Structure 1
Amino acid sequence: MFSLPRQAVTVIVPRSPPSAESDRLLLRPIAESDLQAIFAIRSRPEVAKFNHPKAPFQSLDDAREWLSSKTFATGPSEVIGCSFTMAIVDKSISTEKEQVIGYVGINSLDPCPQIGYSILPEHWGKGYATEALKMMLTMWWNIPRREMPSLFSRDEEPERVYALCEKDNHGSCQVLKKCNFEVVDELRYDMDELYCWALDMPTSSS
């Protein structure tokens, strides 16, 4: 049975999300100009294998539809129309070439914040997904929150982010472990066996 926990949305998603930078990577809000890069990632069968839908993208229209889906359409009125998905830019690649090697972000807020990410297969095994996810999570925890009603006191139930990952996706499971996520449930979606991972908001960011 497929179900996710419900969590009250208190985050104040900025209309223009911030960027972040490390020695290797730049994370910036994903944009329409990234459609070709999105297509290059999601058209790869080895990427599609562990994503939904599992069919590789066939055209830029598929990438455009995917990008549109990253805009929050449900939740409190103040988050409708916002997005928190970041392009992952490899700073070592010449500006004459495509520098966007992946994406990472919050896919949805309803019923709970759920993350997603993908990296071009040529860049697997370099620690980019782990590094980018940690950077995105720091950005997410640091944006403002509304005061929570006493019914949803953080003292009783910590704010979390969640991730769904197929049990056979060992690489992604390792990324989540390295980012301190823990398995909190096991789910089935169609024919897929999934782990539901969760990460508590750091107390220092409360």
Structure 2
Amino acid sequence: MTELPGLNIIITDRLVLRPLVHTDRDAIYTLRSNAQVATCFANKKPQTRAEFGVWLKQVMEDGKEKCVGHCVELRVSSQREGKKREAGEKENIQNGENGPVSVDEKQREKKVIGLIGAHQVPEIGYMFLPQYWGKGYATEALKAWMLWYWEAFPGDNEDRGYLKAMTRLGAVDSRNVLQKCGFRWRDKFQLELEQYEEERKQEATEGKKYLTVDVWIVEGPRLRRNSGASS
């Protein structure tokens, strides 16, 4: 697993979004192998270690030029952050050092609670551990990630001018998050389910499997300006 180049840390009121690194492998597997998290997958199946390895290679190595992903961590609360900063400053003084504690150290809980980004630009996705559902973290993270994305990739490339997401039919929570972040429903789509090695052997007799999903679109600032100028 390689680190994605050119990505920045994004800080919100409650979260820190940071680029994926090689040491995140186990944390990401914990997410993708969780049965509750898997209910949001197209095939609703938690990934095995072998399946996760295939997925990770496809995303992080084979498709790394189109992968723009961040891990989501909790941000240290203001009270704890102050104590941590004070302790860090004392340690610096004792060590004969000057300067503030790095943002990375003073504001991160250092526990991955979610994953967000575009594994195949322009399609975005996100997932969080179940104990962090219903707290507004997904909306907060996606809004911040989108602001960063439009600044980092202003839309000179056609694929970068908009973002899209796909949700299972009836996925109310996911739909609400997307709508709060400006996405609009575009269409329904027949999605071919992912076929891993052990499932491909059955494909000849059972045929390919498909799932109908909702497709959501949000335009970037450049496309919105262009459509406004032409209207």
- Scaled by the length of structure 2, the TM-score of the pair is 0.66
SS of 2:7's partner is: coil
In structure 2, the CA distance between the partners of 1:20 and 1:147, relative to structure 1 (3 Å rule), is closer
Does the CA contact (< 8 Å) of 1:72 and 1:82 recur in 2? no
- Counterpart mapping for 1:134-145 below 5 A: 134-145=143-154
Q: Distance in 1 between matches of 2:75 and 2:213?
A: 33
Counterpart of 2:60 in structure 1 is 71
SS in 2 for 1:57: coil
Query: Match of 2:19?
Result: 29
* Contact 2:74–2:110 (8 Å) recurs in 1: no
| 1:87 pairs with 2:71 | yes
1:67–1:55 Cα change, 3 Å: same
Mapping for residues 185-204 of structure 1, pairs under 5 Å = 185-189=187-191, 190-203=209-222
The alignment's C-alpha RMSD in Å is: 3.0
Q: Matched residues in 2 for 1:126 and 1:183: separation?
A: 24
Q: Residue 70 of structure 1: SS of its match in structure 2?
A: helix
Distance 1:140 1:100 in 2: 21
**Following TM superposition, by how much is the alpha carbon of 1:205 offset from its aligned partner in structure 2, in angstroms?**
9.2
Q: Indicate the structure with greater helix content.
A: 2
AA at the equivalent of 2:142:
L
In 1, the alpha carbon distance for the partners of 2:178 and 2:153 equals 24
The worse-fitting range, judged by mean Cα deviation, of 194-203 and 46-55 is 46-55
The one-letter code of the counterpart of 1:187 is: F
| Residue 183 in structure 1 maps to residue 185 in structure 2 | yes
Distance 1:98 1:185 in 2: 38
* Distance change >3 Å, CA 29–CA 128, structure 1 → 2: same
Larger of the two Rg values belongs to structure: 2
- Indicate conservation of the 8 Å contact 1:35/1:64, yes or no: no
Paired residues of 2:128 and 2:138 also in contact (CA < 8 A)? yes
Instruction: Give 1:39's aligned amino acid.
Output: Y
In structure 2, distance between residues paired with 1:73 and 1:162? 21
Name 2:131's counterpart in structure 1: 122
Decide whether the 8 Å contact of 2:142 with 2:181 is kept in 1.
yes
**C-alpha offsets along residues 11-65 of structure 1, whole Å, 9 cap, x if unaligned?**
xxx8321111012100111122112211221111121122145321233x54444
Ranges in structure 1 where 5+ consecutive residues have no aligned partner: 1-13, 75-79, 153-157
Preserved CA contact (<8 Å) 2:154 2:222: no
CA distance in 2, matches of 1:188, 1:91: 38
Task: Return the alpha-carbon distance in structure 1 between the equivalents of residues 186 and 170 of structure 2.
Answer: 17
Name the residue aligned to 2:204. none
Residue pair 1:184, 1:196 contacting (<8 A) in 2 also: yes
Q: Where does structure 2 lack aligned partners over 5 or more consecutive residues? A: 81-104, 192-208, 226-231
Structure scoring higher RCO (CA < 8 A, sep ≥ 6) equals 1
Are residues 205 and 19 of structure 1, via their aligned partners in 2, closer, same or farther at CA, if it must alter by over 3 Å?
farther
Indicate the percent of aligned positions where both proteins have the same amino acid: 28
Instruction: Tell me whether 30-39 or 20-29 shows the greater mean CA deviation.
Output: 30-39
